[in-house]
Amino acid sequence: GEDVEQSLFLSVREGDSSVINCTYTDSSSTYLYWYKQEPGAGLQLLTYIFSNMDMKQDQRLTVLLNKKDKHLSLRIADTQTGDSAIYFCAERGSGGYQKVTFGTGTKLQVIP
Amino acid sequence: SQTIHQWPATLVQPVGSPLSLECTVEGTSNPNLYWYRQAAGRGLQLLFYSVGIGQISSEVPQNLSASRPQDRQFILSSKKLLLSDSGFYLCAWSRPGTGNGELFFGEGSRLTVL
């Protein structure tokens, strides 16, 4: 079955860049996503990339997709304390139901 | 605009007791509906999804069941809770058909089984 893996924890200093990495196994993925979860809350879509793209930039966020290696990354420039959260990588398959599979989440801690 | 509500937000239940978590979506029709469970260090596990009234698919065998009695209502139930059912339960919806497949999540229900 599909599998999505991420490291569990990342700590960065305020103002530095954060890079969160993700690997996935489904070669038929259509969309790949980054969701953000604030403490005790649900998830919100942060950004997404279509599988035929290799980069997407949205203000402080840069998503890089290496489809050959099935590797996705999220770079947050000028990381702020408000960016502290859990970040989930997810991929959507191409089957009839188009199931979305989530990774374990990476907890980002921003040190002032 | 569309909104999603789930309740209760927090629940403490003894082992063997029943469970009912409810989720409703407003502002859209015929949404795809989902129940996820989030356990510490294990990410999000899809439990059930539904593409229409009375249509429920289960992703993993378990002690839980789901029902969709109305178009925008999704209920997660158990007849007898186990300790292992503790976790953070998230309801979500997505637009049917093509599109980017974005999931819209509720605020979650934290279940503690003692």
Cα–Cα distance measured from residue A102 to residue B59, given in angstroms and rounded to the nearest whole number: 14
Please say if the pLDDT value at position B59 is more than 90.
no
Q: Smallest Cβ distance to A8: which of B41, B102, B110? A: B41
Per-run averaged pLDDT (10 residues), chain A, 112 residues: 87 97 90 93 93 94 96 97 96 76 94 94
Chain A residue with the nearest C-alpha to that of B43: A104
When pLDDT is averaged across residues B3-11 and rounded to a whole number, the result is 96
Q: Which two tokens stand for residue A46?
A: 């942060």
Please say if the pLDDT value at position B31 is more than 90.
yes
Do A105 and B43 lie within an 8 Å CB cutoff? yes
Chain B residue with the nearest C-alpha to that of A86: B43
The CA distance from B104 to the nearest CA of chain A, in Å, is 7
Interface contact A27, partner B, CB < 8 A: no
Residue range A61-87, pLDDT digits in tens: 999 999 999 999 999 999 999 999 999
Share of chain B above pLDDT 70, in %: 97
When pLDDT is averaged across residues B41-56 and rounded to a whole number, the result is 88
Residue range B60-80, pLDDT digits in tens: 777 899 999 999 999 999 999
Sign of CA dihedral B105, B67, B109, B78: negative
Partners of B105 on chain A (C-beta within 8 Å) are 42-44
Please state whether beta strands A9-13 and A106-111 pair in parallel, antiparallel, or not at all (unpaired). Answer: parallel
